[in-house]
Amino acid sequence: MTALPAMRAADSGGGGLRLGLRANLAQFVLLVAVNALVGGTLGQERTVLPLLARDTFHLSASIAALTYILAFGATKAVTNFVAGTLSERYGRKPVLVAGWLIAVPVPALLIFGPSWGWIVFANVLLGVNQGLTWSTTVIMKIDLVGPARRGLAMGFNEASGYLALAATAVATGTIAAHAGLRPAPFLLGAAYVAVGLGLSVLAVRETRQYARAEAARHPVPANPDHRGELTTGQVAWITSVRDKALSAACQAGMVNNLNDALAWGIFPLLFAAHGLPVAQIGVLAALYPAVWGFGQLLTGWWSDRAGRKHLITAGMLIQAAAIALVATGTTFGVWAAAQVLLGVGTALVYPTLLAAVGDVAHPAWRARAVGVYRLWRDGGFAIGALLAGAIASAWDLVAAIWVVAVLTAASGLLAAVRMYETHPRPRPRVVNDKKD
């Protein structure tokens, strides 16, 4: 009963704040919708851009991977870190709106860019957009729901983004098959940006006060590393190296997105090399994020009950098996099965890693910890582009896929050895949570 006055004091508007999914359902659903638009903005590229690089700009697989995915991944990784710091200093909503403003020119650059350099620049802007908007929607949902439903919240957040990405990959593949690679597929992305910006300006509310409210009633941890007053450098060191669970999450997230860079930049070219038409490539490009997206609706909830560590370990090993299946396959059916399996493995990992970071990090520096984790995770895009592009150039596409499969298996084993279980033990619920 003593927690409630502290929570009211933390509300800058003077009213009482209540953490929980039900108590904040309207804003939570709105943020789910906004993140779907974030995912769709990225999805406009998934099917079309590798083919645009090959057919319009006549680039090899290695050059394409070393440019647009590298530009996107490196920019997004750094922006994730900045987004966490900015959202603690200035609030979540301004960062979200800024992310959408930066995305405004992206569809036009993809449509009218006369050289590959313009496409790379579009992906730099897209990386900033995704780093600011996706990071902020993650942080805002964690703010609203509190500790009891953290995994479920992350499941909904990531599901909305990747289901929209998958649907957009199918839609743009279909559009491209009938209307060409430019401009029609990217008009869908322009619509996403317009709606996302409008909702973020007009309807989304600030949530930073919810994190402050949770911090006010947060028990003082025994471990001094996890207390509230830490510099950004200390947060980065603890998240990246010192804490075993946080550092294990960072490496697993990085390898997971290394896989995604492979699926984005190399898989479509492998499928095309075996004679698959654009429409079928679009279906394969969508299967993986679709299963990943739907699966997170279950796995986020599951991690709130079964814990985080075993789902993360299993997910990485399943991903390794799926990538190996892509390397051995030569037909649409085998590749479709591999994409489904890859989606299952990623669904086990993706929301669970974010929930684990939220479990360990103190509310006072949680946004920065999420930013550091996402810095490592999305750095996997850049590393994957460099690695896969270099190996594909030196040997071939299949060799690049096999190397990533081995790295993914090693990552899962490392998480099994290093990570401790982060899910909080059941405890009595306070007044503000009892209706959730």
Report pLDDT digits (tens) over 316-353. 999 999 999 999 999 999 999 999 999 999 999 988 99
- At residue 227 the predicted structure's pLDDT band, cuts being 50, 70 and 90, is low
- The residues near 96 (Cβ < 8 Å, ≥ 6 apart) are 34, 132, 133, 136, 137, 140, 200, 204
Report which of residues 334 and 262 the model is more confident about: 334
**Mean pLDDT in residue range 73-92:** 89
* pLDDT band, very low/low/confident/very high, at 261 (cuts 50, 70, 90): confident
Closest CA to 122 of 189, 33, 34, 171: 189
Q: For 412-431, write each residue's pLDDT tens digit.
A: 999 999 999 998 754 433 33
pLDDT above 50 (res 435):
no
pLDDT tens digits along 7-33: 333 333 334 688 888 889 999 999 999
Count CB atoms within 10 A of the CB of residue 314.
17
What pLDDT was estimated at residue 356? 93
pLDDT value for 433: 37
- Counting residues of the chain whose pLDDT is more than 90, the rounded percentage is 49
What's the chain's average pLDDT?
86
Nearest alpha carbon to residue 134 among 201, 189, 200: 200
pLDDT at residue 6 greater than cutoff 90? no
pLDDT digits (tens, 9 = 90+) for 173-205: 889 989 989 999 999 999 999 999 999 999 999
CA 263 centroid distance within chain: 15
Grade residue 69 by pLDDT with cuts at 50, 70 and 90: confident
pLDDT tens digits for range 128-139: 999 999 999 988
CB 165 within 8 A of CB 290: no
- Homologous superfamily of domain range 20-211+230-425: MFS general substrate transporter like domains (1.20.1250.20)
Checking if the pLDDT of 217 tops 90, the result is no
What are the DSSP calls for 171-209, one per residue?
HHHHHHHHH-SSSHHHHHHHHHHHHHHHHHHHT----HH
Residue 200 and residue 137 in contact, taking contact as beta carbons nearer than 8 Å: no
**What residues have CB less than 8 Å from 403, skipping those under 6 apart?**
387, 388, 391
Report field, pTM of the whole predicted structure over 0.85: no
Domain edges within the chain: 20-211+230-425
Predicted confidence (pLDDT) at residue 60 exceeds the cutoff of 80: no
Q: What is the DSSP string of 18-40?
A: --STTTTHHHHHHHHHHHHHHHH
Q: Which two tokens stand for residue 158?
A: 């990531």
* pLDDT at position 221 over 50: yes
Give residue 364's pLDDT: 82
pLDDT in tens, 237-247: 999 999 999 99
Model confidence at 432: pLDDT above 50: no
